[in-house]
A and B are shown apart, each in its own frame.
Chain A
Amino acid sequence: MAPFAGYDMPINYPTGAIEEHLITRRGVGLFDIDHMGQIEIAGEAAETFVSHMISAKVSDLVAPMARYSLLLNEKGGIIDDLFVYRLPNSWWIVVNASNRAVDLEWFRSKAPTNVSIIDRSDDTYMIAVQGPRAIELLDKISNTPVSPIPRFCWANISIEGIPILFGRTGYTGEDGGELFFPAKKAIELWEYLLECGESFGIETKPIGLAARDSLRFEAGLPLHGHEIGIDINPIEAGFKWACDFEKEFIGKEALLSIIEQGISRKLVGIEVFGGVAREGYEVATADGVIIGRCVAGMYCPTVKKYAANAFVNPNYAKIGTNLSVIIRGQPRSAEVIKRPFYVPVYRR
């Protein structure tokens, strides 16, 4: 167990981190992610407000759609990344646990009086059901099938009489969904999902934080504090696509100026030969000149590579560039490779 944003969370279950990763790529992984925050934004000016606050396009977002977005400050720094769900009468925003308080304060400090910002985190439980057989499992136990729900859309369903907001979203690179439901039903639903996996012969296991990290890393999904952060802008991190420059939003002016001036560093994926590159390790040219630093690195169980994400001088960001990573004082050879290391199934 490890403390994480005020929660005690298992790094791995008895299954073990690597096996948990592989189960999520072949069966169903269950993720107890109640630590994620949920903020509901409502009121007559809510759409204008949300559109101004977040980077992604909002004007074409109608129920039952959901979309990935960034929350930027005026300098273009990434306060958080989030998923925004367009509900019929409000906006349901899912944020990272460690940024929940900061995000809430940010939204509240900017909100006009005709917009309400409601923290739903304590009343709402969140479980992610991810993997190639996740939809098959949910179809068998949901009151209404989830398979017709398109990727990045949501629906109201119920399982065992528990009302659930089901989003066809996730953080693993696999198909599946994220379930939002009343917190008091958490243990009941968790155990029911495990039981149903067993009784239908669909391999279903709880997945800990270590595998959650390796799954998202392999699939090229960012983790705040690593590939993105308050001191990192979306242009250098490769998230220009998540910003709608056709509208006005906080941070837009800063981003336009960054685009005009050019970036001083760029996020790249690198394969490392002869060790595990970890966060903070320096990246050098093949000749030993330091040109960047790793923000995350680990063994990727599905693609069987030792890889890292690093911010480097853009002159060395081209795929195929030979680099080295300084692993405990020793330079180890490395090469810039294409991200994501594992292409999410819904993008193939």
Chain B
Amino acid sequence: MAIDKNARYLESHEYAKPEGELMVIGISDHAQAELGDVVFVELPNVGKELDKGVVFGTIESVKAASDLYMPISGKVVEVNEEVKNDPSLVNKDCYGSGWLIKVAPTKLSEFESLLDAESYGTSIGEV
């Protein structure tokens, strides 16, 4: 499974990846593989302020529905409309075109407390 080295992770498989002043949020390659084909995503509206750890949306695969947790506190500045129309982008390119939301972080220090690529890899059993 691919682990984007520029991103940091929650144990629940969401990632946050710096992009300029913003953080791009999505789910890891491991998570999309475990979920199977993604058929629906529900995401928050632009402008919504969300704390780290809260549920910011839902992802539904052919197998099940899963909550999405904020890896970092922030205000939603962009929502991936393409992934809402074509949820399979999460399976095809979870770190690229399958991103979910972009936030302006309000507590940037939280980023350091997330799992780095190596620790995340260990947590999912990949060395």
Contact = CB atoms under 8 A, between A and B. Distances in A.
B62 A18 contact: yes
Contacts of A276: 39-40, 60, 65
Contacts of A306: 39-40
Interface string B57-94: 01010110100000000000000000000001001000
Interface in B17-63: 36-37, 39-40, 42, 58, 60, 62-63
A12 B91 CA distance: 14
Interface in A101-124: none
Contact of B36 (A17, A275, A278): A17
A16 B36 contact: yes
Interface in A30-77: none
A299 B65 contact: no
Contact of A278 (B37, B65, B88, B91): B65
A11 B62 CA distance: 10
Contacts of A274: 42
A11 B36 contact: yes
B42 to A, nearest CB: 7
B53 to A, nearest CB: 18
A299 B91 contact: no
A298 interface: yes
B63 A11 contact: yes
A278 B65 CA distance: 9
Contacts, number: 42
Contact of A18 (B39, B40, B42, B60): B39
Nearest to A272: B40
Contacts of A17: 36-37, 62
Interface in B80-122: 88, 91
Contacts of B36: 11-12, 16-17, 210
Interface in A283-334: 298-299, 306, 328
A19 B36 CA distance: 11
A328 B67 CA distance: 11
B37 A18 contact: yes
B40 A298 contact: no
A204 interface: no
Interface string A3-17: 000000001100011
A19 B65 CA distance: 20
Contacts of B62: 11-12, 17-18, 210, 214, 298-299
B2 to A, nearest CB: 16
B40 to A, nearest CB: 5
Contacts of A299: 39-40, 60, 62
Contacts of A278: 65
A274 B60 CA distance: 11
Given A275-B42, A328-B58, A16 B65 contact: no
A275 B91 contact: no
B81 to A, nearest CB: 15
B93 to A, nearest CB: 14
Contacts of A210: 36-37, 62-63
Contacts of A19: 37
A298 to B, nearest CB: 7
Contacts of B60: 275-276, 299
A224 to B, nearest CB: 21
Interface in A142-186: none
B110 to A, nearest CB: 27
22 contacts: A11-B36, A11-B62, A11-B63, A16-B36, A16-B91, A17-B37, A18-B37, A18-B62, A18-B88, A19-B37, A210-B36, A210-B63, A214-B62, A274-B42, A275-B40, A275-B42, A275-B58, A278-B65, A298-B62, A299-B60, A306-B40, A328-B65
Given A16-B37, A16-B91, A19-B37, 12 more contacts: A12-B36, A12-B62, A17-B37, A18-B88, A210-B37, A210-B63, A276-B60, A299-B39, A299-B60, A299-B62, A328-B58, A328-B65
